[in-house]
Structure 1
Amino acid sequence: MDFTKIDELSSKLKSMRPLNSTELKRLRDEFMVKNTYNSNAIEGNTLTLRETALVLQGVTIAEKPVKEHLEVIGHKDAFEYVVSFADANTILTERVIKEIHSLVLINDFANRGVYRRVPVSISGATHTPPQPYLVPEQMEALMVDYEGIKRDKHIIESVAAFHLCFEGIHPFIDGNGRTGRLILNFELIRAGLLPVNIKFSERRKYYDCFEHYYSNGHTQDTLSKLVADYEAEELLKYIAILER
Protein backbone atom coordinates (compact mmCIF):
# COMPACT_ATOMS: atom_id res chain seq x y z
CA MET A 1 0.00 0.00 0.00
CA ASP A 2 1.28 3.46 -0.94
CA PHE A 3 1.40 6.02 1.88
CA THR A 4 3.03 8.77 -0.19
CA LYS A 5 0.03 11.08 0.27
CA ILE A 6 0.19 10.75 4.06
CA ASP A 7 3.95 11.40 4.09
CA GLU A 8 3.60 14.44 1.82
CA LEU A 9 0.76 15.95 3.85
CA SER A 10 2.62 15.31 7.09
CA SER A 11 5.76 16.96 5.72
CA LYS A 12 3.74 19.93 4.49
CA LEU A 13 2.10 20.41 7.87
CA LYS A 14 5.46 20.26 9.66
CA SER A 15 6.88 22.88 7.29
CA MET A 16 4.10 25.37 8.05
CA ARG A 17 3.85 27.81 10.93
CA PRO A 18 3.13 25.70 14.00
CA LEU A 19 -0.13 26.16 15.82
CA ASN A 20 0.25 28.14 19.03
CA SER A 21 -0.62 26.43 22.30
CA THR A 22 -4.10 27.98 22.47
CA GLU A 23 -4.99 26.90 18.93
CA LEU A 24 -3.62 23.43 19.50
CA LYS A 25 -5.54 23.01 22.76
CA ARG A 26 -8.78 24.12 21.09
CA LEU A 27 -8.36 21.65 18.23
CA ARG A 28 -7.40 18.81 20.55
CA ASP A 29 -10.36 19.56 22.84
CA GLU A 30 -12.73 19.51 19.84
CA PHE A 31 -11.21 16.27 18.64
CA MET A 32 -11.39 14.74 22.11
CA VAL A 33 -15.16 15.39 22.35
CA LYS A 34 -15.83 13.82 18.94
CA ASN A 35 -13.44 10.94 19.57
CA THR A 36 -14.95 10.22 22.98
CA TYR A 37 -18.45 10.22 21.50
CA ASN A 38 -17.56 7.98 18.55
CA SER A 39 -15.40 5.48 20.44
CA ASN A 40 -17.99 5.06 23.20
CA ALA A 41 -20.89 4.91 20.72
CA ILE A 42 -19.18 2.08 18.84
CA GLU A 43 -19.28 0.14 22.12
CA GLY A 44 -22.97 0.86 22.75
CA ASN A 45 -22.97 4.11 24.74
CA THR A 46 -26.22 5.97 23.94
CA LEU A 47 -25.10 9.53 24.76
CA THR A 48 -25.27 11.81 21.72
CA LEU A 49 -22.38 14.01 20.61
CA ARG A 50 -24.05 17.02 22.26
CA GLU A 51 -24.72 15.08 25.47
CA THR A 52 -21.12 13.85 25.50
CA ALA A 53 -19.91 17.45 25.27
CA LEU A 54 -22.19 18.45 28.14
CA VAL A 55 -21.00 15.58 30.35
CA LEU A 56 -17.43 16.70 29.72
CA GLN A 57 -18.48 20.14 30.98
CA GLY A 58 -19.80 18.60 34.19
CA VAL A 59 -23.48 18.40 33.26
CA THR A 60 -25.51 15.32 34.23
CA ILE A 61 -27.87 14.04 31.54
CA ALA A 62 -31.19 13.01 33.08
CA GLU A 63 -32.39 9.45 32.40
CA LYS A 64 -29.00 8.35 31.08
CA PRO A 65 -27.10 5.73 33.13
CA VAL A 66 -24.28 6.74 35.46
CA LYS A 67 -22.16 4.10 33.70
CA GLU A 68 -22.40 6.03 30.42
CA HIS A 69 -21.37 9.25 32.15
CA LEU A 70 -18.36 7.48 33.65
CA GLU A 71 -17.41 6.06 30.24
CA VAL A 72 -17.19 9.62 28.90
CA ILE A 73 -15.07 10.82 31.82
CA GLY A 74 -12.85 7.74 31.65
CA HIS A 75 -12.23 8.13 27.93
CA LYS A 76 -11.40 11.81 28.35
CA ASP A 77 -8.86 11.03 31.08
CA ALA A 78 -7.37 8.23 28.99
CA PHE A 79 -7.11 10.46 25.90
CA GLU A 80 -5.32 13.17 27.89
CA TYR A 81 -2.96 10.52 29.26
CA VAL A 82 -2.29 9.28 25.71
CA VAL A 83 -1.54 12.76 24.41
CA SER A 84 0.79 13.69 27.27
CA PHE A 85 2.72 10.42 27.20
CA ALA A 86 2.91 10.33 23.38
CA ASP A 87 4.14 13.94 23.29
CA ALA A 88 6.85 12.87 25.73
CA ASN A 89 7.73 10.01 23.36
CA THR A 90 6.98 7.39 26.00
CA ILE A 91 7.48 3.88 24.62
CA LEU A 92 4.41 1.64 24.35
CA THR A 93 4.66 -1.16 26.91
CA GLU A 94 2.22 -3.52 28.59
CA ARG A 95 2.34 -1.23 31.62
CA VAL A 96 1.24 1.75 29.50
CA ILE A 97 -1.54 -0.35 27.95
CA LYS A 98 -2.79 -1.36 31.40
CA GLU A 99 -2.69 2.26 32.59
CA ILE A 100 -4.74 3.38 29.57
CA HIS A 101 -7.23 0.60 30.29
CA SER A 102 -7.40 1.57 33.97
CA LEU A 103 -8.57 5.05 32.95
CA VAL A 104 -11.02 3.73 30.35
CA LEU A 105 -12.63 1.30 32.81
CA ILE A 106 -13.11 3.88 35.54
CA ASN A 107 -16.44 2.29 36.52
CA ASP A 108 -15.03 -1.21 37.17
CA PHE A 109 -12.42 -1.13 39.92
CA ALA A 110 -11.96 -4.90 40.09
CA ASN A 111 -11.03 -5.30 36.41
CA ARG A 112 -9.17 -2.06 35.65
CA GLY A 113 -5.78 -2.74 34.10
CA VAL A 114 -6.10 -6.48 34.74
CA TYR A 115 -5.95 -9.13 32.03
CA ARG A 116 -9.14 -11.15 31.91
CA ARG A 117 -9.46 -14.37 33.85
CA VAL A 118 -12.42 -15.83 31.96
CA PRO A 119 -13.03 -16.91 28.34
CA VAL A 120 -14.80 -14.38 26.11
CA SER A 121 -16.35 -14.24 22.66
CA ILE A 122 -16.75 -11.27 20.31
CA SER A 123 -20.34 -10.73 19.27
CA GLY A 124 -20.86 -11.28 15.54
CA ALA A 125 -17.22 -12.25 14.90
CA THR A 126 -15.92 -15.53 13.49
CA HIS A 127 -12.66 -15.22 15.46
CA THR A 128 -12.54 -16.56 19.02
CA PRO A 129 -10.08 -14.87 21.43
CA PRO A 130 -7.56 -17.10 23.22
CA GLN A 131 -8.24 -18.74 26.55
CA PRO A 132 -7.38 -16.47 29.51
CA TYR A 133 -4.26 -18.41 30.50
CA LEU A 134 -2.81 -17.62 27.06
CA VAL A 135 -3.43 -13.87 27.24
CA PRO A 136 -0.21 -12.85 29.10
CA GLU A 137 2.10 -14.76 26.76
CA GLN A 138 0.25 -13.61 23.64
CA MET A 139 0.41 -9.99 24.78
CA GLU A 140 4.13 -10.35 25.49
CA ALA A 141 4.64 -11.86 22.02
CA LEU A 142 2.58 -9.08 20.42
CA MET A 143 4.80 -6.40 21.97
CA VAL A 144 7.93 -8.14 20.63
CA ASP A 145 6.41 -8.69 17.18
CA TYR A 146 5.26 -5.08 17.00
CA GLU A 147 8.82 -3.80 17.29
CA GLY A 148 9.75 -5.91 14.26
CA ILE A 149 6.68 -4.78 12.33
CA LYS A 150 7.60 -1.12 12.89
CA ARG A 151 11.05 -1.71 11.42
CA ASP A 152 9.60 -3.23 8.25
CA LYS A 153 6.38 -1.31 7.64
CA HIS A 154 5.00 2.23 7.47
CA ILE A 155 3.59 3.41 10.82
CA ILE A 156 0.04 3.29 9.41
CA GLU A 157 0.45 -0.39 8.53
CA SER A 158 2.16 -1.07 11.85
CA VAL A 159 -0.55 0.42 14.04
CA ALA A 160 -3.24 -1.28 11.96
CA ALA A 161 -1.52 -4.66 12.42
CA PHE A 162 -1.13 -4.05 16.16
CA HIS A 163 -4.76 -3.00 16.55
CA LEU A 164 -6.08 -6.07 14.75
CA CYS A 165 -3.92 -8.41 16.85
CA PHE A 166 -4.72 -6.61 20.11
CA GLU A 167 -8.46 -6.79 19.53
CA GLY A 168 -8.10 -10.45 18.54
CA ILE A 169 -6.40 -11.26 21.84
CA HIS A 170 -9.10 -9.24 23.64
CA PRO A 171 -6.92 -9.11 26.75
CA PHE A 172 -9.42 -7.40 29.06
CA ILE A 173 -12.90 -8.39 30.18
CA ASP A 174 -14.27 -5.05 28.94
CA GLY A 175 -13.01 -1.85 27.31
CA ASN A 176 -10.84 -3.54 24.67
CA GLY A 177 -12.18 -1.50 21.75
CA ARG A 178 -11.80 1.87 23.43
CA THR A 179 -8.37 0.95 24.79
CA GLY A 180 -7.23 -0.37 21.42
CA ARG A 181 -8.27 2.78 19.57
CA LEU A 182 -6.50 4.94 22.16
CA ILE A 183 -3.33 2.85 21.72
CA LEU A 184 -3.62 3.35 17.96
CA ASN A 185 -3.69 7.13 18.46
CA PHE A 186 -0.89 6.94 21.03
CA GLU A 187 1.37 5.42 18.39
CA LEU A 188 0.29 7.82 15.63
CA ILE A 189 1.09 10.84 17.81
CA ARG A 190 4.44 9.33 18.83
CA ALA A 191 5.25 8.95 15.12
CA GLY A 192 4.54 12.64 14.48
CA LEU A 193 1.11 12.13 12.93
CA LEU A 194 -2.31 13.24 14.11
CA PRO A 195 -4.77 11.11 16.11
CA VAL A 196 -7.64 9.69 14.05
CA ASN A 197 -11.33 9.48 14.82
CA ILE A 198 -12.97 6.21 13.76
CA LYS A 199 -16.58 7.25 13.33
CA PHE A 200 -19.59 5.50 14.83
CA SER A 201 -21.43 6.07 11.54
CA GLU A 202 -18.75 3.98 9.78
CA ARG A 203 -18.56 1.21 12.38
CA ARG A 204 -19.64 -1.42 9.83
CA LYS A 205 -16.62 -0.60 7.67
CA TYR A 206 -14.44 -0.78 10.80
CA TYR A 207 -15.86 -4.16 11.86
CA ASP A 208 -15.37 -5.52 8.34
CA CYS A 209 -11.63 -4.86 8.69
CA PHE A 210 -11.47 -7.49 11.43
CA GLU A 211 -13.42 -10.04 9.42
CA HIS A 212 -11.12 -9.39 6.46
CA TYR A 213 -8.05 -9.83 8.66
CA TYR A 214 -9.11 -13.16 10.16
CA SER A 215 -10.46 -14.62 6.93
CA ASN A 216 -7.65 -13.49 4.58
CA GLY A 217 -4.42 -14.71 6.08
CA HIS A 218 -3.99 -11.90 8.63
CA THR A 219 -3.59 -9.09 6.10
CA GLN A 220 -4.11 -5.62 7.56
CA ASP A 221 -4.64 -3.77 4.27
CA THR A 222 -8.31 -2.83 4.78
CA LEU A 223 -7.70 -1.33 8.23
CA SER A 224 -4.52 0.33 6.97
CA LYS A 225 -6.56 2.06 4.27
CA LEU A 226 -9.24 3.11 6.75
CA VAL A 227 -6.67 4.59 9.15
CA ALA A 228 -4.84 6.27 6.25
CA ASP A 229 -8.08 7.88 5.04
CA TYR A 230 -8.84 9.21 8.51
CA GLU A 231 -5.25 10.45 8.90
CA ALA A 232 -5.40 12.30 5.58
CA GLU A 233 -8.68 13.89 6.68
CA GLU A 234 -7.10 15.21 9.89
CA LEU A 235 -3.94 16.44 8.15
CA LEU A 236 -5.93 18.28 5.48
CA LYS A 237 -8.06 19.94 8.18
CA TYR A 238 -4.99 21.22 10.04
CA ILE A 239 -3.35 22.42 6.82
CA ALA A 240 -6.54 24.25 5.78
CA ILE A 241 -6.65 26.03 9.17
CA LEU A 242 -3.05 27.18 8.83
CA GLU A 243 -3.50 28.27 5.23
CA ARG A 244 -6.38 30.52 6.28
Structure 2
Amino acid sequence: MSSQLATLLKSIDADKATLDAARPLSQQAVASLRDTLVREWAGQASVIEGGAPTRRETRAVLECITIDGTTLREHLDATHHRDAIGYVEDIVSKREALSERQIRNLHRLVLNRIGNGDVRRYRQENVAIAGASTVPPGFLDLPADMAALIGWYREAGAMHPVMRAAELHARLLKIHPFVDGNGRTARLLLAFELMKDGYPPAIIRNEDRPAYHDALDRACAGGEFDNIACVVAEAVRRALHLYLDVLGLPYAAKPDADHFPNHPNGEPTCPLPPPPR
Protein backbone atom coordinates (compact mmCIF):
# COMPACT_ATOMS: atom_id res chain seq x y z
CA MET A 1 0.00 0.00 0.00
CA SER A 2 1.35 3.43 -0.92
CA SER A 3 1.90 6.03 1.79
CA GLN A 4 -0.65 8.28 0.06
CA LEU A 5 -3.33 5.62 0.22
CA ALA A 6 -2.50 4.68 3.81
CA THR A 7 -2.80 8.30 4.92
CA LEU A 8 -6.05 8.76 3.03
CA LEU A 9 -7.56 5.64 4.61
CA LYS A 10 -6.51 6.85 8.05
CA SER A 11 -8.35 10.12 7.43
CA ILE A 12 -11.41 8.22 6.21
CA ASP A 13 -11.42 5.99 9.29
CA ALA A 14 -11.33 9.04 11.57
CA ASP A 15 -14.24 10.66 9.73
CA LYS A 16 -16.22 7.42 9.77
CA ALA A 17 -15.66 7.05 13.53
CA THR A 18 -17.20 10.51 13.97
CA LEU A 19 -20.17 9.49 11.83
CA ASP A 20 -20.60 6.16 13.63
CA ALA A 21 -20.71 7.93 16.99
CA ALA A 22 -23.70 9.95 15.74
CA ARG A 23 -25.67 6.89 14.61
CA PRO A 24 -28.53 6.11 14.56
CA LEU A 25 -29.35 9.31 12.71
CA SER A 26 -32.58 11.10 13.52
CA GLN A 27 -35.41 11.17 11.00
CA GLN A 28 -34.73 14.88 10.44
CA ALA A 29 -31.02 14.21 9.82
CA VAL A 30 -31.82 11.41 7.36
CA ALA A 31 -34.22 13.69 5.45
CA SER A 32 -31.60 16.46 5.32
CA LEU A 33 -28.95 13.96 4.21
CA ARG A 34 -31.16 12.73 1.40
CA ASP A 35 -31.77 16.28 0.14
CA THR A 36 -28.04 16.99 0.22
CA LEU A 37 -27.16 13.80 -1.65
CA VAL A 38 -29.79 14.45 -4.32
CA ARG A 39 -28.27 17.87 -4.98
CA GLU A 40 -24.70 16.56 -4.93
CA TRP A 41 -25.30 13.55 -7.17
CA ALA A 42 -27.70 15.13 -9.65
CA GLY A 43 -26.25 14.99 -13.15
CA GLN A 44 -23.74 12.25 -12.43
CA ALA A 45 -24.10 9.55 -15.05
CA SER A 46 -23.89 6.45 -12.84
CA VAL A 47 -23.06 5.16 -9.44
CA ILE A 48 -20.00 4.51 -9.56
CA GLU A 49 -21.39 1.45 10.26
CA GLY A 50 -19.06 0.95 14.83
CA GLY A 51 -22.51 2.22 14.45
CA ALA A 52 -24.27 0.57 11.54
CA PRO A 53 -26.66 2.60 9.38
CA THR A 54 -30.32 2.00 10.12
CA ARG A 55 -32.65 0.71 7.43
CA ARG A 56 -34.14 4.22 7.23
CA GLU A 57 -30.72 5.72 6.54
CA THR A 58 -29.93 2.94 4.08
CA ARG A 59 -33.14 3.56 2.16
CA ALA A 60 -32.55 7.31 2.00
CA VAL A 61 -29.07 6.83 0.55
CA LEU A 62 -30.11 4.10 -1.87
CA GLU A 63 -32.84 6.34 -3.25
CA CYS A 64 -30.22 8.93 -4.24
CA ILE A 65 -27.92 6.63 -6.23
CA THR A 66 -28.42 7.03 -9.96
CA ILE A 67 -28.43 4.54 -12.81
CA ASP A 68 -28.52 5.90 -16.34
CA GLY A 69 -29.55 9.33 -15.08
CA THR A 70 -32.49 8.18 -12.93
CA THR A 71 -32.49 7.56 -9.21
CA LEU A 72 -32.30 3.97 -8.04
CA ARG A 73 -35.81 4.33 -6.61
CA GLU A 74 -37.16 5.52 -9.99
CA HIS A 75 -35.25 2.78 -11.78
CA LEU A 76 -36.60 0.07 -9.50
CA ASP A 77 -40.13 1.44 -9.68
CA ALA A 78 -39.88 1.21 -13.46
CA THR A 79 -39.25 -2.54 -13.23
CA HIS A 80 -42.75 -3.12 -11.84
CA HIS A 81 -41.19 -5.74 -9.62
CA ARG A 82 -42.53 -5.27 -6.10
CA ASP A 83 -39.58 -7.02 -4.46
CA ALA A 84 -36.83 -5.08 -6.23
CA ILE A 85 -36.51 -2.25 -3.71
CA GLY A 86 -36.67 -4.64 -0.78
CA TYR A 87 -34.02 -6.79 -2.41
CA VAL A 88 -31.42 -4.05 -2.69
CA GLU A 89 -32.21 -2.80 0.83
CA ASP A 90 -31.69 -6.31 2.16
CA ILE A 91 -28.32 -6.62 0.41
CA VAL A 92 -27.08 -3.63 2.38
CA SER A 93 -29.03 -3.75 5.64
CA LYS A 94 -28.50 -7.48 6.18
CA ARG A 95 -24.95 -7.36 4.78
CA GLU A 96 -25.83 -10.17 2.40
CA ALA A 97 -22.80 -12.24 1.52
CA LEU A 98 -21.51 -11.70 -1.99
CA SER A 99 -22.40 -14.46 -4.44
CA GLU A 100 -22.53 -14.99 -8.17
CA ARG A 101 -26.31 -14.96 -7.98
CA GLN A 102 -26.25 -11.54 -6.32
CA ILE A 103 -24.00 -10.17 -9.06
CA ARG A 104 -26.27 -11.57 -11.77
CA ASN A 105 -29.33 -10.13 -10.04
CA LEU A 106 -27.69 -6.70 -9.83
CA HIS A 107 -26.93 -6.97 -13.55
CA ARG A 108 -30.56 -7.63 -14.31
CA LEU A 109 -31.49 -4.70 -12.09
CA VAL A 110 -29.32 -2.18 -13.93
CA LEU A 111 -30.69 -3.40 -17.26
CA ASN A 112 -34.23 -2.93 -15.94
CA ARG A 113 -34.97 -6.63 -16.32
CA ILE A 114 -35.82 -7.71 -12.79
CA GLY A 115 -38.52 -10.36 -12.92
CA ASN A 116 -39.34 -13.96 -12.26
CA GLY A 117 -37.26 -16.85 -13.44
CA ASP A 118 -33.58 -17.60 -13.45
CA VAL A 119 -31.08 -14.79 -13.34
CA ARG A 120 -29.41 -13.78 -16.57
CA ARG A 121 -26.56 -15.94 -17.80
CA TYR A 122 -23.04 -14.78 -18.39
CA ARG A 123 -22.11 -13.77 -21.91
CA GLN A 124 -21.92 -16.53 -24.50
CA GLU A 125 -19.40 -14.82 -26.76
CA ASN A 126 -15.97 -13.24 -26.62
CA VAL A 127 -15.75 -9.46 -26.42
CA ALA A 128 -13.21 -6.65 -26.66
CA ILE A 129 -13.32 -3.30 -24.82
CA ALA A 130 -12.59 -0.22 -26.91
CA GLY A 131 -9.61 1.73 -25.58
CA ALA A 132 -8.62 -0.87 -23.00
CA SER A 133 -5.16 -2.42 -22.94
CA THR A 134 -6.47 -5.85 -21.96
CA VAL A 135 -8.93 -8.31 -23.47
CA PRO A 136 -11.53 -9.92 -21.18
CA PRO A 137 -11.28 -13.68 -20.73
CA GLY A 138 -13.00 -15.96 -23.19
CA PHE A 139 -16.59 -16.81 -22.38
CA LEU A 140 -15.71 -20.46 -21.75
CA ASP A 141 -13.51 -19.33 -18.84
CA LEU A 142 -16.21 -17.23 -17.16
CA PRO A 143 -17.59 -19.88 -14.76
CA ALA A 144 -14.12 -20.57 -13.36
CA ASP A 145 -13.18 -16.87 -13.28
CA MET A 146 -16.35 -15.87 -11.44
CA ALA A 147 -15.94 -18.70 -8.95
CA ALA A 148 -12.37 -17.53 -8.37
CA LEU A 149 -13.63 -13.97 -7.81
CA ILE A 150 -15.99 -15.11 -5.08
CA GLY A 151 -13.21 -17.23 -3.59
CA TRP A 152 -10.88 -14.22 -3.52
CA TYR A 153 -13.57 -12.11 -1.87
CA ARG A 154 -14.12 -14.65 0.88
CA GLU A 155 -10.40 -14.60 1.67
CA ALA A 156 -10.20 -10.79 1.61
CA GLY A 157 -11.97 -10.15 4.90
CA ALA A 158 -8.87 -8.67 6.55
CA MET A 159 -8.50 -5.94 3.90
CA HIS A 160 -9.64 -2.40 4.61
CA PRO A 161 -13.28 -2.28 3.42
CA VAL A 162 -12.60 0.59 1.01
CA MET A 163 -9.65 -1.23 -0.57
CA ARG A 164 -11.60 -4.48 -0.75
CA ALA A 165 -14.58 -2.81 -2.43
CA ALA A 166 -12.34 -1.03 -4.95
CA GLU A 167 -10.43 -4.20 -5.82
CA LEU A 168 -13.64 -6.21 -6.14
CA HIS A 169 -14.96 -3.53 -8.48
CA ALA A 170 -11.84 -3.70 -10.66
CA ARG A 171 -11.66 -7.50 -10.65
CA LEU A 172 -15.27 -7.80 -11.82
CA LEU A 173 -14.67 -5.31 -14.61
CA LYS A 174 -11.59 -7.23 -15.71
CA ILE A 175 -13.68 -10.39 -16.07
CA HIS A 176 -16.41 -8.45 -17.92
CA PRO A 177 -18.90 -11.29 -17.48
CA PHE A 178 -21.81 -9.73 -19.38
CA VAL A 179 -22.24 -8.46 -22.92
CA ASP A 180 -23.65 -5.15 -21.66
CA GLY A 181 -24.01 -3.35 -18.35
CA ASN A 182 -20.71 -4.44 -16.78
CA GLY A 183 -19.71 -0.93 -15.68
CA ARG A 184 -23.08 -0.10 -14.16
CA THR A 185 -23.24 -3.45 -12.38
CA ALA A 186 -19.73 -3.03 -11.00
CA ARG A 187 -20.41 0.53 -9.80
CA LEU A 188 -23.63 -0.51 -8.08
CA LEU A 189 -21.78 -3.41 -6.46
CA LEU A 190 -19.07 -0.98 -5.32
CA ALA A 191 -21.72 1.23 -3.69
CA PHE A 192 -23.38 -1.70 -1.94
CA GLU A 193 -20.11 -3.17 -0.67
CA LEU A 194 -19.13 0.15 0.89
CA MET A 195 -22.55 0.63 2.45
CA LYS A 196 -22.48 -2.85 3.99
CA ASP A 197 -19.58 -1.64 6.12
CA GLY A 198 -21.16 1.71 6.95
CA TYR A 199 -19.35 3.87 4.39
CA PRO A 200 -21.22 6.15 2.01
CA PRO A 201 -21.20 5.02 -1.62
CA ALA A 202 -18.37 6.27 -3.80
CA ILE A 203 -19.90 8.38 -6.53
CA ILE A 204 -17.39 8.90 -9.33
CA ARG A 205 -17.86 12.46 -10.56
CA ASN A 206 -17.72 13.24 -14.25
CA GLU A 207 -14.48 15.18 -13.76
CA ASP A 208 -12.91 12.13 -12.09
CA ARG A 209 -13.61 9.77 -14.96
CA PRO A 210 -10.26 10.12 -16.77
CA ALA A 211 -8.37 9.18 -13.59
CA TYR A 212 -10.94 6.48 -12.83
CA HIS A 213 -10.58 4.84 -16.24
CA ASP A 214 -6.77 5.08 -16.17
CA ALA A 215 -6.71 3.47 -12.73
CA LEU A 216 -9.03 0.68 -13.88
CA ASP A 217 -6.87 0.02 -16.92
CA ARG A 218 -3.79 -0.32 -14.73
CA ALA A 219 -5.59 -2.64 -12.33
CA CYS A 220 -6.81 -4.86 -15.16
CA ALA A 221 -3.52 -4.85 -17.08
CA GLY A 222 -1.02 -5.19 -14.26
CA GLY A 223 -2.88 -6.04 -11.08
CA GLU A 224 -1.97 -2.65 -9.57
CA PHE A 225 -4.93 -1.81 -7.35
CA ASP A 226 -3.59 1.12 -5.30
CA ASN A 227 -4.60 3.70 -7.92
CA ILE A 228 -8.21 2.55 -8.20
CA ALA A 229 -8.34 2.30 -4.40
CA CYS A 230 -7.19 5.93 -4.22
CA VAL A 231 -9.85 7.11 -6.66
CA VAL A 232 -12.54 5.27 -4.71
CA ALA A 233 -11.19 6.38 -1.34
CA GLU A 234 -11.17 10.03 -2.33
CA ALA A 235 -14.80 9.69 -3.47
CA VAL A 236 -15.68 8.07 -0.14
CA ARG A 237 -13.94 10.85 1.76
CA ARG A 238 -15.91 13.49 -0.14
CA ALA A 239 -19.15 11.67 0.64
CA LEU A 240 -18.24 11.37 4.33
CA HIS A 241 -17.70 15.11 4.42
CA LEU A 242 -21.20 15.60 2.99
CA TYR A 243 -22.60 13.46 5.80
CA LEU A 244 -20.64 15.33 8.46
CA ASP A 245 -21.65 18.71 7.01
CA VAL A 246 -25.31 17.74 7.28
CA LEU A 247 -24.81 16.69 10.91
CA GLY A 248 -22.71 19.73 11.78
CA LEU A 249 -19.79 17.52 12.79
CA PRO A 250 -16.07 18.23 12.23
CA TYR A 251 -13.83 16.48 9.72
CA ALA A 252 -10.65 14.73 10.69
CA ALA A 253 -7.55 16.90 10.57
CA LYS A 254 -6.17 17.19 7.05
CA PRO A 255 -3.16 14.97 6.38
CA ASP A 256 0.20 16.67 6.58
CA ALA A 257 0.84 18.52 3.33
CA ASP A 258 4.36 17.10 3.31
CA HIS A 259 2.81 13.73 2.45
CA PHE A 260 1.31 15.23 -0.71
CA PRO A 261 3.78 17.77 -2.06
CA ASN A 262 2.17 17.62 -5.50
CA HIS A 263 -1.03 19.22 -4.24
CA PRO A 264 -1.08 22.88 -3.15
CA ASN A 265 -3.45 22.26 -0.24
CA GLY A 266 -1.88 19.04 0.92
CA GLU A 267 -5.00 17.07 0.07
CA PRO A 268 -4.48 13.32 -0.39
CA THR A 269 -4.12 12.52 -4.05
CA CYS A 270 -2.83 9.49 -5.87
CA PRO A 271 -1.27 10.81 -9.05
CA LEU A 272 -1.27 8.40 -11.96
CA PRO A 273 1.70 7.96 -14.24
CA PRO A 274 1.10 8.58 -17.94
CA PRO A 275 -0.92 5.78 -19.53
CA PRO A 276 1.10 3.21 -21.45
CA ARG A 277 1.59 3.95 -25.12
TM-score, structure 1 normalization: 0.77
CA separation of 1:80/1:4 partners in 2, compared to 1, >3 Å: closer, same or farther?
Answer: farther
1:205 paired with 2:211, answer yes
CA separation of 1:82/1:205 partners in 2, compared to 1, >3 Å: closer, same or farther?
Answer: farther
1:225 paired with 2:230, answer yes
CA distance in 2, matches of 1:57, 1:142: 29
CA shift for structure 1 position 224: 0.6
TM-score, structure 2 normalization: 0.68
Runs of 4+ in structure 1 over 6 Å off: 55-58, 77-80, 108-112
Map of 2:245 onto structure 1: 240
CA shift for structure 1 position 27: 3.3
CA separation of 1:164/1:243 partners in 2, compared to 1, >3 Å: closer, same or farther?
Answer: same
Q: How does 1:48-127 map to 2 (within 5 A)?
A: 52=69, 73=78, 81-106=87-112, 113-127=120-134
Task: Name whichever of 33-42 and 100-109 sits farther off.
Answer: 33-42
The one-letter amino acid paired with 1:196 is: A
Q: Is the 8 A contact 1:86 1:189 kept in 2?
A: yes
Map of 1:194 onto structure 2: 200
CA distance in 1, matches of 2:93, 2:114: 28
1:138 paired with 2:138, answer no
The one-letter amino acid paired with 2:148 is: A
Q: Is the 8 A contact 2:45 2:69 kept in 1?
A: no
The one-letter amino acid paired with 2:139 is: P
Structure 2 unaligned segments of length 5 or more: list them. Answer: 49-65, 250-277
1:138-177 per-position Cα deviation (integer Å, ceiling 9, x unaligned): 00101001121232x2111111111111001000111110
1:40-97 per-position Cα deviation (integer Å, ceiling 9, x unaligned): 499xxxxxx9x946x8898xxxxxxxxxxx79956xx978743442112211111111
CA distance in 1, matches of 2:45, 2:178: 17
Structure 1 unaligned segments of length 5 or more: list them. Answer: 43-48, 59-69
Identity %: 31
The one-letter amino acid paired with 2:244 is: I
Higher helix fraction (1 or 2): 1
Task: Name whichever of 153-162 and 124-133 sits farther off.
Answer: 153-162
The one-letter amino acid paired with 2:124 is: R
Instruction: Give the alignment's Cα RMSD to 1 decimal.
Output: 3.4
